[in-house]
Amino acid sequence: MNDTTNIVSTFNGVLKSLVKGQDYVKSPPAGPPDDLGILTDDELEALQQTTFGENLRDKTHSYKSISLIEEPSPKKVTLPNGDDLKNLNVCGIDGSNQRVERSTFYFLLTRAAIIEFRYSKTNQKPYFYNKLIDKNAVVWVDGNVFKEDIRLQTVPLPKDANVLNEINKNGSLPFLVTYSPKTIDKSPSSHALGWAVKLQQALEMQCLKYIPLDIETICIKDGPLFSTSISPQETIDGLNTIFQWQNQVLICSSKRVRDSRLLVEAIQGNVGLRNYWFPNQNITDQTIQHVSTDSILLPRILKPGYRTPLMEAVPRSRKAVVENEPRLMPLTCYYLSRHQPYTYIRIEIPKFMWQRDKIKIEKAISIVAWQHEIGHKAPLVQLTADLRCQLGYEKDILEKQTLSYLFKNGLNFPENY
């Protein structure tokens, strides 16, 4: 479902379930029902972490362990030639979310896009493919704002539901979820944001099922390998499909590196690596503790067109994924663009793919670097997926329809600014 009219129309039944204003003001204050899905404390805490699951509020290290699996010297990345691109698919996956916010309820719009470029040396026609996957939701905050038939106009999510499994059922109705004031964050808006991010990341995982298996493919997914707002088991379930890939490679790429501290933590306590990257500079652990982010270290380590050596590292917040499925251990490096102004991307690769074919992984990194050079801010196919998944227009339509129904029903809720 990706037609604008259909996306918004899934809320038609929900809007018709709004109570009349005179009935609302006569009802005693009530919270949401307690039989619907809620976010856990861990999922709410994930909103305070970096894109990569690093907890900047914790005084301890964010990573359980960090180890180099290559020599510490930076690696020059050779850009691909025509033969490397012959009959090659390059796919990009990205997602977005929007929210229509009222103090009594929240409407969530989420979407993921998969974009496919096919390259050829011969006179074959250029091939461009795109697919959008959408899922909407209602976060029920005020127990009086909807009539009971809201449950017939939605798909009520039970507690502890596996969101990926529910999405796989491919229903068009919005999910119905709620918030709990008993969690660490009692703000309904935080819960709405958490649900929106969770659904978006689940849809991005869902896109992996649509990667073509009949042609060599480099799949570039936005963000880290392990999404932060879905559970470890949902992460394993979502990535399970890549174990069946033979001639395909998954590369996770992120331009959001300003808060990352992987390298900062890597050289704390590792005197050999610290002296190799910063010889004769008398840098100590205490010095490094005051360095806020990898973006301060990277200009001193990399030259344009180079990458850092692959590192085996998993944030403590995601360690359960690797404990249950060691093949998914992320291997991470940074790449510095050749163009000015210089930009970095952080690349993550499942370890089992590197172990299976190191040469193919080097080629995949080369393809990602090339896409980054022509995209400038991020790999071109990733930027294209980002453009395709935007939901601003749909949000504007739904916002206007919601205001119309509220006015019609005499529900004069104050605006939130």
The answer to whether the beta carbons of residues 110 and 139 sit under 8 Å apart is no
Per-residue pLDDT of 350-399, as tens digits, reads: 999 999 999 999 999 999 999 999 999 999 999 999 999 999 999 999 99
Mean residue pLDDT across the chain: 91
Instruction: Give this prediction's pTM.
Output: 0.93
Query: What is the dihedral angle through the alpha carbons of 290, 295, 300, 302, rounded to the nearest 10 degrees?
Result: 150
Per-residue pLDDT of 258-275, as tens digits, reads: 878 899 999 987 899 999
Is residue 61's pLDDT more than 90?
no
Cα end-to-end span (Å), the chain = 32
Percent of all residues in the chain with a pLDDT value above 90, rounded to a whole number: 68
Give 284's pLDDT tier (boundaries 50, 70, 90): confident
Q: What is the DSSP letter of 381?
A: H
Which range, of 30-34, 137-141, 245-249, 324-328, averages the lowest pLDDT? 30-34
Domain boundary assignment for the chain: 4-409
Number of C-beta neighbours around residue 41 at 10 A: 12
Mean pLDDT comparison of 56-65, 90-99, 177-186, 251-260, highest-scoring range: 90-99
Q: At what angle do helices 232-239 and 188-206 cross, to 10 degrees?
A: 20
